[in-house]
Amino acid sequence: MIDVMRRAVLVPIHRDGWPFIAAFALISLLLGTAVSEPLGWIGALATAWCLFFFRDPERVTPQRGNLVVSPADGLVQMIQPAVPPSELGMTPGPLTRVSIFLNVFDVHVNRVPADGVVTRLAYRAGKFFNAALEKASELNERQSVRMTTPDGRELAFVQIAGLVARRIRCDLKEGQPVRAGERFGLIRFGSRLDVYLPQGAAPLVAVGQRMVAGETVIADLASGEPPRKAEVR
């Protein structure tokens, strides 16, 4: 019980966050001592938010094969057929795309959605429209990843920069074996993750549903279940 409480309170911070946290803290100190105390308190709140943004909690990932888990915390905003980014060189034709929108209060550490091998990485510079817009998938800056599952199926996932996001980090390499739920990157600040499911795979989530990266199952590649329906209650 003590260990559970400790993990809930002392959430790890992603290493990319420490320079920002230090900068926010220094500015807060300078504002509070050299300008005015109220500004210092405002800076302290901004520093606390920065700590919150870069949190990197542990996740419990289901281990059964053929599962596709969410690569990001956030809200399922769209589920629709769409053609994967052309730079990935996948078989032409639309696949089911699950789009997950992350606001500035979500955990922004991204996780691999399935077991397999990374077969292609492709970065493309672009615009910085609101990531909630459909056109963001095509026009915004993005980092695309293509991978093959152990049974030979292909899927893709794409980190998309948002309106205030200006930095996409992806630590994957082509040819790298990966496991579902492993950390692979980060987007700051506010963003979107698109997942393109293999042909014939039905999503087990619905628009408006909250996702937990590395935990929420968004598809079962071994299941013949049709797409799920849901309603707000």
**Shared-domain flag, residues 108 and 155:** yes
Domain that holds residue 184: 67-220
Q: How many domains, in total, are found in the chain?
A: 2
Query: CA dihedral in degrees (117, 195, 222, 115; nearest 10)?
Result: 20
Q: Which of 44-58, 78-92, 112-126 has the lowest mean pLDDT?
A: 44-58
Phi, psi torsion values for 81, nearest 5 degrees: -70, 135
**Shared-domain flag, residues 37 and 87:** no
Number of residues assigned to the chain: 233
Give the pLDDT band of residue 10 (cuts 50, 70, 90). Answer: low
Mean pLDDT across 16-44: 76
**Shared-domain flag, residues 167 and 88:** yes
The answer to whether residue 228 sits within a structural domain is no
> Active-site residue numbers?
191
Identify the pLDDT of residue 5: 39
Determine contact, residues 60/215, Cβ cutoff 8 Å. yes
pTM to 2 decimals?
Answer: 0.83
